[in-house]
Structure 1
Amino acid sequence: MKLSSHKLALCKMKMLKLLRTSAGQTGIIQFNGVRKLSSIPAPSPKVCIVGGGPAGFYTAQHLLKARPDVQVDIYERLPVPFGLVRFGVAPDHPEVKNVINTFTQTAQHTRCSFHGNVSVGKDVSVEELQRAYHAVVLSYGADGNRRMGVPGEDLAGVYSAKDFVGWYNGLPRNKELKPDLSCDTAVILGQGNVALDVARILLSPLEILKKTDITELALATLAESRVRRVLIMGRRGPLQVACTIKELREMVNLPGTRPEMVHADFNGIAEALKALPRPRKRLTELLVKAAMEVPGEQEQERRRLASRSWAFRFLRSPLEVLPSADLTRAAGLRLAVNRLEGSGDGAWAVTTGEVEDVACGLVISSIGYKSLPIDPSVPFDPSKAIIPNTMGRVQQAAGLYCSGWVKRGPTGVIATTMNDSFDTARTLLQDLESGALDLLTAKTGSQEVAALLEERGVKPVFFSDWEKIDSEEVRRGEARGKPRDKLQDVEEMLLVARTQGPTTL
């Protein structure tokens, strides 16, 4: 008698529950096409995570903690782990990088393995990973830049904040950026934390930066910088700035600088403070204080002696990057003057028809990162630049999940990514428990992938290899009086990983 598909599914779920109840002492064997209970342990769930940044490590952490039989392998394109914690966090924010300690514990877990120098979608396909693992989690972040979409944005002197941050943080692909800082005025488009990071790096005294892990190449370039004024532009008003109070306070207190706001930008803001939620109220109060209040004598003297300045400019949207006389590089920005409709965080900018030109030789666009498709087999929404998903389950792709920015878009801080990644891990665990993921079939995991990579001449970098790179960077940093001196060349990373002591899995 044939069972219906519904009854077959119920039988399968009951079998899985029986296997779990017996704590791994019971398994399934197949003989002459018939599956039977056996004393062979049930196959352990093998999960692959693509991306060695915060989303990948937090997803792995939750899986390993929640289920004692799960095996997790993390694949990362670069030879080094930690993603935006290493390459995105500002060098003068070392406390934010403390999460690396937690990620290291995860990577050193007996049921976790890190495989660097493996480019998924190129060295191995997602479909091949799906054949080797019970589940695949895509956590590869947002590697693309959102373009302004205006004439002149490809002129010399125009950079994305993503590339500029990668340059001073040692991201290998950005080491040849060579930004020209010979102008007096820089404009940053965007008013989020990344925009303020860039402004702070441009204006910080070298004595402060020399004690951080900023690259020596960036230090040398900044030492020759002639930038004395940074304007941080936003299309909306003071009540909609996207930075945190911590970042704003650092700008207000940055040695050797003074704020130069336009008082008219803050008309009516003081009256609106009472109705604001507490976090927004505190942020706006600090902004108003920096812009409007007459400082005390000590602060007045500090500002008088400051050789550099910064300011927010509001209700401005880029229309065109104006070229120099020889048409080779940026010489200014043409901006649309906006007005707001609506109120609070939901207010939107509407152009007034008025135009304003600002002279500047450096334009940095900090309007957001975006994720890119990784593999033709993976669904991708190009308009939202995310993988379409429901609670982390990739739509119409059984056994495929996503977490982090590629799941929800490039928003939030590291804590946001942590919570999001934990949510995806919980979704995956539910599917393991319910039988939605087939655990009756044993998977070979990294063994199968290792064979494919060997055939293709790809040599992974394991976490013990990364520790050699880490030690070398710290050693070089100590010689310069800084926490580390990052290796910026992939070939040099590989050389250090493979020539200093044995490599172990």
Structure 2
Amino acid sequence: MTVSLCVVGSGPAGLYVADALARRHAGARIDVLERLPTPYGLVRAGVAPDHPGTKAVTRQFDRTLARPGVRFLGNVTVGRDIALAEVRAAYDAVILAAGAPEDRRLGIPGEDLAGVYGSGAFVGWVNGHPDHAALAPRLPGPAVAIIGAGNVALDIARVLARTPEEMARGDLCAHAARIIHAAPLTDLWVIGRRGPLDAAFTPAELSELGSLARARPVVESTALHEPTPTEAMPRKTLEILRGFAARPDAEDAPVRIRILFNAAPLAIEGAAGAVTALRLARTRAEDGRAVSTGETLTLPVGTVVSAIGYRPRPLDGAPLDEARSRIANTDGVIADGLFVVGWARRGPTGVIPANRADALAVADRVSGWLADHPKGTRPGPDALDALLRQRGVRVVSRADWERINQAEIACGDMTGQPRQKITAIAEMLSLLDDTATEA
């Protein structure tokens, strides 16, 4: 009997697990469901637009979607167009790979003021994600506070600091470019509540700050006196930070990226409903925690971006483990025949390659479960197709996606960029209907 499997989510984790399962189960029918008309998840909508090389992994994902038996079904939302219970009834096994798309809140006064944004929404905006394309964040300048000490915080600072000429090589969306390049920004604060040893920057991301055309990184030298390298903070990272602290030209740069350690957000202050300042508590390390010293400082800023992590969206039939910002699971198993992979499984940690190892481990669990249970007894893709037709869902196929892809590349050719993304789902679907009529 033919095995039928369904992967919900077409980001790195979902496509890695689909590829692994296709290799393990010859002849299997594997459907990859995606709520957007476009695949690739955070590779398309989360990788910084000035890192086009990182997005080259999509070539591997294209090969997965082209495998015999593997289908891409875009514009299908589990929980809206079809219930998870219905998907489970149709397939032998279901693997959730929808990531953790919701920003965690700061939980401090003032975070609902105009000018406060989560990093997921902000990065989605610069990348043209349909959920966030209309964000149009306030960037009145001259200062922006980015709360978080990881690569996402550095990505945001770097994109705000780059010149138009530097960004031209990437796929920064035109709507974001207009606002960013017109913003009168001089100081970008990257703020970690703990010390440098607890920062999650990778050396490659951190070192990029030292080669920007008009911006210079600024680091408090006093924050770097005591730390010694650890497994969490490699020697290279500490060397880069100390090099930044020793640069004599940083304060005179047109734009300064100020990395501030041992500062925890207390409140966001505002006037007339908009951000005017961020109040912070200075902290010290105590038993692995950031404890207030009693000293406070206030940064005059017009924008605050919180880069403190993400959480999955709730889904009936897949309860959340709120404390760990993930779907509740045991080693990737949610329930009988229901699995989870990627950030939705382990929480929002790790870069793209980490999802491959995760996907291989979960694929092993799926294969082990299939070996011990009847398979090929469910109606599979045919049942899903019938339900979606009955409900009038406009499913986007892999061929449809390629038409969207080619249209975006053609728009990019006009501006000298790899692509200009179509940011509205309705526009994508209209393009498909128009090309179908022409054919």
Q: Same fold (TM over 0.5)?
A: yes
Give, in whole Å, the separation in 2 of the partners of 1:294 and 1:113.
53
Tell me whether 1:235 sits opposite 2:202 in the alignment: no
Read off the aligned partner of 1:138 and give its amino acid letter: L
Question: Does the residue aligned with 2:356 lie in a helix, a strand or coil?
Answer: helix
Tell me whether 1:404 sits opposite 2:319 in the alignment: no
Give, in whole Å, the separation in 2 of the partners of 1:70 and 1:451.
19
Pick aligned residue for 2:266 from 308, 319, 330:
319
Q: Is the 8 A contact 1:80 1:466 kept in 2?
A: yes
Give unmatched runs, 5+ long, in structure 1: 1-42
Pick aligned residue for 2:360 from 394, 418, 422:
422
Give, in whole Å, the separation in 1 of the partners of 2:204 and 2:247.
22
Give, in whole Å, the separation in 2 of the partners of 1:177 and 1:391.
37
> What residue in structure 2 maps to residue 338 of structure 1?
283
Give the superposed CA RMSD.
1.7
Pick aligned residue for 1:483 from 402, 418, 422:
418
Give unmatched runs, 5+ long, in structure 2: none
Give, in whole Å, the separation in 1 of the partners of 2:14 and 2:31.
10
Give, in whole Å, the separation in 2 of the partners of 1:98 and 1:180.
32
Give, in whole Å, the separation in 2 of the partners of 1:212 and 1:94.
6
Deviation for aligned residue 1:498:
3.0
* Identity within the alignment, %: 38
Read off the aligned partner of 2:158 and give its amino acid letter: R
Question: Does the residue aligned with 2:298 lie in a helix, a strand or coil?
Answer: strand
> What residue in structure 1 maps to residue 378 of structure 2?
443
Give, in whole Å, the separation in 2 of the partners of 1:382 and 1:364.
22
Q: Looking at CA atoms only, which structure, 1 or 2, has the larger radius of gyration?
A: 1
* 1:163–1:135 Cα change, 3 Å: same
1:345-401 Cα offsets, whole Å, 9 max, x none, are xx32111222221111111100011112122x223323323222222111xx21100
Tell me whether 1:467 sits opposite 2:402 in the alignment: yes
Give, in whole Å, the separation in 1 of the partners of 2:370 and 2:386.
27
> What residue in structure 2 maps to residue 168 of structure 1?
126
> What residue in structure 2 maps to residue 355 of structure 1?
296
Give, in whole Å, the separation in 1 of the partners of 2:350 and 2:437.
40
Q: Is the 8 A contact 1:182 1:226 kept in 2?
A: yes
Pick aligned residue for 1:69 from 27, 32, 54:
27
* 1:62–1:160 Cα change, 3 Å: same
Give, in whole Å, the separation in 1 of the partners of 2:207 and 2:432.
40
Pick aligned residue for 1:92 from 50, 62, 78:
50
TM-score by length of 1: 0.84
Give, in whole Å, the separation in 1 of the partners of 2:397 and 2:362.
25
Question: Does the residue aligned with 1:389 lie in a helix, a strand or coil?
Answer: coil
Pick aligned residue for 1:432 from 346, 355, 370:
370
* 1:61–1:221 Cα change, 3 Å: same
Read off the aligned partner of 2:269 and give its amino acid letter: L
Tell me whether 1:185 sits opposite 2:130 in the alignment: no
Deviation for aligned residue 1:304:
7.3
Would you say how many aligned residue pairs link Structure 1 and Structure 2?
439
Deviation for aligned residue 1:305:
6.3
Q: Is the 8 A contact 2:325 2:348 kept in 1?
A: no
Give, in whole Å, the separation in 1 of the partners of 2:232 and 2:293.
32
> What residue in structure 1 maps to residue 173 of structure 2?
215
Q: Is the 8 A contact 2:149 2:199 kept in 1?
A: yes
Read off the aligned partner of 1:408 and give its amino acid letter: R
Q: Is the 8 A contact 1:465 1:503 kept in 2?
A: no
Deviation for aligned residue 1:492:
0.8
Deviation for aligned residue 1:162:
0.8
Q: Which runs of 4+ in 1 moved over 6 A?
A: none
1:261-298 Cα offsets, whole Å, 9 max, x none, are 222222223xx24xx3496111111111111x356xxx
1:407-449 Cα offsets, whole Å, 9 max, x none, are 000000001111111111111011122x2x321x522212111
Read off the aligned partner of 1:443 and give its amino acid letter: R
> What residue in structure 2 maps to residue 11 of structure 1?
none
1:226-276 Cα offsets, whole Å, 9 max, x none, are 11110100011111111100110001221111222222222223xx24xx3
Give, in whole Å, the separation in 2 of the partners of 1:201 and 1:172.
20
> What residue in structure 1 maps to residue 274 of structure 2?
329
Tell me whether 1:265 sits opposite 2:223 in the alignment: yes
Give, in whole Å, the separation in 2 of the partners of 1:380 and 1:45.
28
Deviation for aligned residue 1:143:
1.6
Pick aligned residue for 1:308 from 255, 259, 263:
255
Deviation for aligned residue 1:503:
12
Read off the aligned partner of 2:295 and give its amino acid letter: E
Tell me whether 1:282 sits opposite 2:240 in the alignment: no
Q: Is the 8 A contact 1:210 1:219 kept in 2?
A: no
Deviation for aligned residue 1:457:
1.2
Give, in whole Å, the separation in 1 of the partners of 2:2 and 2:22.
12
1:154-198 Cα offsets, whole Å, 9 max, x none, are 001111111110001000111111111121011100010000000
Question: Does the residue aligned with 2:256 lie in a helix, a strand or coil?
Answer: strand
Deviation for aligned residue 1:102:
0.7
Give, in whole Å, the separation in 2 of the partners of 1:262 and 1:277.
22
Q: Is the 8 A contact 1:372 1:385 kept in 2?
A: no
Tell me whether 1:383 sits opposite 2:341 in the alignment: no
Tell me whether 1:57 sits opposite 2:15 in the alignment: yes
* 1:231–1:496 Cα change, 3 Å: same
Question: Does the residue aligned with 1:123 lie in a helix, a strand or coil?
Answer: coil
Give, in whole Å, the separation in 1 of the partners of 2:252 and 2:321.
51
Tell me whether 1:454 sits opposite 2:377 in the alignment: no
